[in-house]
Amino acid sequence: MSGASAPVTRWWGWGDPGKQPELPPEGLALLRELVGEAEPMQRVELEEVGVPDPAPLPASLVEAAGEHALLDGREHRIRRAAGQSYPDLVRLRTGRLGDAPDAVAVPATAEAVARALEVCAAEGIAVVPFGGGTSVVGGVDPERAGFEQLIALDLRRLRDVTVDERSLVARLGPGLRGPEAEDALAERGLTLGHFPQSFEYATIGGFAATRSAGQASSGYGRFDDMVTSVALATPVGELRTLDVPHTAAGPSLRELVVGSEGTLGVITEVGVRVRAAPHEHRYEAWMAPDFESGAEMVRALAQDDALPDVVRVSDEAETSASLGLAGVAGARRTALHAYLRLRRRTGGCMVITGWEGTSEAVARRRAVAARLIRAGGAVSLGHAPGEAWRRGRYEGPYLRETLLDLGYMVETLETAHTWSRLMEHREAVTRALGDTLRSGGGGCLVMCHLSHAYRDGASLYFTFIAPRRPEAEIEQWRAAKTAACEAIVSMGGTITHHHAVGRDHAPYMPAEVGDLGIATLAAMKERLDPAGIMNPGKLLPR
């Protein structure tokens, strides 16, 4: 079988194979000082990755998927066998993958998707919908859950774009990657405005399926705020909602689909609100006295309806590490400290703000926000560091690959809480991660930033780094992840603000929605996916 070529990305990790950032010497020295030495991780060759032989698939599935639309080559299977979580990357890099789809279906139309699901339901073949493969919570891992046969259903060929310029609504195919969707809209002077860190490779369908939140969510909204309509191919038929601004016709079926993570069916079309592309971008940086005052400043912005489109506050650890790992040392660091001392500041927390729109609107909104930011005790660092952040906003996953090569475990997780409990929530998760990672005798670095602000609270995004434990990397990760998740649940925070549930967070869903909520979700799945073939092991606890 043959067909569409594999994405031009690393099979063992993130992004463009020709892009590999290096830590500056001073950054590497700082990393070793903070967390200790690590044993480099050697990557195996593709031929060394261990995967079982594929199970045979029925001829009816080949016919349903369409000519040249079912790929069973070894590399095709490996490339759709994992996402981008730390365990996924370890398994790929060490060749201990464990399992892979038996084949990859790449249907060309929504009708072909529906036919493939009908056959899979009748034959008992599990289906994992696959977009950009950027899940960091095990959302695309091939969980068989008792099924002998499993396919990945790659949506890359569903790339239609239809725009209603009068209504400022677009209908987008789920296989469009972020830049492709933006390019198509830019031709009409429009933008979606959804820019998560995974933007370069994540897809429209993935954004909808996971309730994604872009870095400019304070201005443009989360992706679920943008969605106006959806079409979902399920094993028992199509679920389609009206393309209208709003409706009072019962509980929202659109909301049922958004965030369903491929467990109910396959999203085949997404209607979204779009807007005029911005004429001006203004990004700048500030230094708040400490994390708590930075958070209080963002609360004031949110509750006074003065939020920038992008706003994030790094805590002291993230501020110091980000500057150090970027090589801000020597004369540059001395100059920064001198500048802050002139403003009676010896350190603090970095704040990034960004405004987009017409020149007049940017100037007006920035003036209002700047008064509140200065009233909160922050001092301006100017445009240069803000623009540097904007230019490098998608570089984090590449730096992670460099750190993995050097032998460091790097992982992220996120949560959200109300303003009243945000600081104690951060402290609880930071303490849980630090205590667990240090319990093995090694050092660690736990960093946090606040982003995605609302009138009633905000998201907290944690990054933690520690020397990996060779041959026990997954166990080390699991201990840290479990400790953090249990701390989040004990504090009454959400187990995920925008990374979704996937496999990793599924055990904590009862704490999120309660036993009756789980039973309700299970009943909906039973109605739309009675054979249980759709993305087994995700979203719902076992």
Residue-level pLDDT, tens digit, the chain, 542 residues: 333 444 468 999 999 988 888 888 888 999 999 999 999 999 999 999 999 999 999 999 989 888 779 999 999 999 999 999 999 999 999 999 999 999 999 999 999 999 999 999 999 999 999 999 999 999 999 999 999 999 999 999 999 999 999 999 999 999 999 999 999 999 999 999 999 999 999 999 999 999 999 999 999 999 999 999 999 999 999 999 999 999 999 999 999 999 999 999 999 999 999 999 999 999 999 999 999 999 999 999 999 999 999 999 999 999 988 888 765 544 455 455 554 555 556 679 999 999 999 999 999 999 999 999 999 999 999 999 999 999 999 999 999 999 999 999 999 999 999 999 999 999 999 999 999 999 978 899 999 999 999 999 999 999 999 999 999 999 999 999 999 999 999 999 999 999 999 999 999 999 999 999 999 999 999 999 999 999 999 999 98
State residue 506 phi and psi, 5-degree precision. -55, -40
Does 3.30.300.330 match the CATH number of domain 396-497?
A: yes
Provide the token pair at 234.
């399920």
Backbone angle region of 375, left / alpha / beta, with phi > 0 → left and psi within -120 to 50 → alpha: alpha
- The fold for domain 161-276 equals 3.30.465
CA atoms of 439 and 225, how far apart (whole Å): 42
Q: Which residues contact 394 (CB under 8 A, 6 or more apart)?
A: 197, 199, 200
CA atoms of 453 and 350, how far apart (whole Å): 16
Q: Which CATH code, of 3.30.43.10, 3.30.70.580, 3.90.25.10, 3.20.19.10, is assigned to 25-154?
A: 3.30.43.10
pLDDT of residue 343: 59
Query: Could you report the per-residue pLDDT of 38-68, keeping only the tens digit for each?
Result: 999 999 999 999 999 999 999 999 898 887 7
CA atoms of 20 and 402, how far apart (whole Å): 7
User: 452, 416 in Cβ contact below 8 A?
Assistant: yes
**Strand order across the beta sheet in which 310-314 lies:** 379-382, 280-288, 349-357, 310-314, 445-453, 457-467, 408-418
pLDDT of residue 20: 85
**Strand order across the beta sheet in which 70-71 lies:** 70-71, 103-105, 149-154, 125-130
pLDDT of residue 434: 97
Nearest to 100 by CA among 55, 65, 155, 47: 55
pLDDT of residue 322: 87
Give the start-to-end residue ranges of the domains of the chain.
25-154, 161-276, 280-390, 396-497
pTM: 0.94
Q: Where are the beta strands (DSSP E) in 224-335?
A: 227-234, 237-240, 266-273, 275-276, 280-288, 310-314
Q: In CATH, what number does 280-390 get?
A: 3.30.70.3450
pLDDT of residue 472: 96
Residue recorded with tokens 């706003």: 311
Cβ burial, residue 281 (10 Å; 0-12/13-18/19+): middle
* DSSP classification of residue 210: H
Scored b (16 or more CB within 10 A) or e, 204-230 reads bbbbbbbbbbbbbbbbbbbbbebbbbb
In Å, how far from its chain's centre is CA 69? 28
Scored b (16 or more CB within 10 A) or e, 417-431 reads bebeebeebbebbbe
Nearest to 302 by CA among 373, 251, 253: 373
Nearest to 267 by CA among 305, 301, 238: 238
Count helices and strands (H / E) in the chain: 19, 18
Q: Which residues contact 33 (CB under 8 A, 6 or more apart)?
A: none
Provide the token pair at 230.
């959806």
User: 458, 419 in Cβ contact below 8 A?
Assistant: yes
pLDDT of residue 234: 98
pLDDT of residue 6: 43
